[in-house]
C-alpha cells in the first residue's frame, strides 16, 4: 500500500485569506507529483505536474512547492476567493508504475464571502 497523505482534511477560510495545504508521499522511487482541483459536479482539473526537487509552480494566485527528499509538497492559495472552493487532490507517481496516479484523500476548501 502506497500512502499519500493530505492535511488538513477540510479548511474554511474567509475571502481574501491566504491558505496552504500539505501533501506527503513516499520519498523513495519518486517520479512526479500532480495537483488537481475538483469542484462538485465537475471533472478534476489539473493544476500542476512537478518532477524536480525544489520545483516551484505558479498559476495565478495558486502556487506549489516540492521537496522530494523529505516527501512533501505544499499548495498555496493567495487571497482566496469563493470560486476557489473545491477539493484539492495530490497524486504521486512512482518510477516503477509510470502513469498510475496514487491519490491522497484531498483537502476540501470552503471560502466564505
Question: Should residue 75 be labelled a site residue for another protein when binding is judged by CB under 8 A?
Answer: no
State the number of binding residues for another protein (CB under 8 A). Answer: 27
Q: Are 66 and 50 in contact (CB under 8 A)?
A: yes
Grid coordinates representing 95 are 518510477
Which of 1, 28, 43, 70 is close enough to bind another protein by CB under 8 A? 43
Name residue, grid cell 476548501.
Answer: 109
80 versus 91: smaller Cβ distance to another protein: 91
Those residues with Cβ within 8 angstroms of residue 74's Cβ, 6 or more apart along the chain or in another chain = 20, 21, 22, 23, 64, 65
CA 56/CA 105 separation, integer angstroms: 23
CB neighbourhood size of 66 (10 A): 24
Which of 23, 91, 109, 111 is close enough to bind another protein by CB under 8 A? 91
14 versus 96: smaller Cβ distance to another protein: 96
- Nearest distance, CB of residue 24 and another protein, angstroms: 13
Contacts to another protein by CB under 8 A = 4, 31-32, 34, 36, 41-46, 49, 51, 89, 91, 93, 95, 97-106
Amino acid at each position: 500500500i502506497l500512502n499519500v497523505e493530505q492535511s488538513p482534511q477540510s479548511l474554511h477560510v474567509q475571502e481574501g485569506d491566504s491558505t496552504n495545504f500539505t501533501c506527503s508521499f513516499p520519498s523513495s522511487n519518486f517520479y512526479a507529483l500532480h495537483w488537481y482541483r475538483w469542484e462538485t459536479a465537475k471533472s478534476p482539473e489539473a493544476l500542476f505536474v512537478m518532477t524536480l526537487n525544489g520545483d516551484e509552480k505558479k498559476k495565478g494566485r495558486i502556487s506549489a512547492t516540492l521537496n522530494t527528499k523529505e516527501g512533501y509538497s505544499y499548495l498555496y492559495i493567495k487571497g482566496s476567493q469563493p470560486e476557489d472552493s473545491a477539493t484539492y487532490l495530490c497524486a504521486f507517481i512512482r518510477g516503477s508504475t509510470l502513469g498510475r496516479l496514487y491519490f491522497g484523500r484531498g483537502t476540501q476548501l470552503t471560502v466564505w464571502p
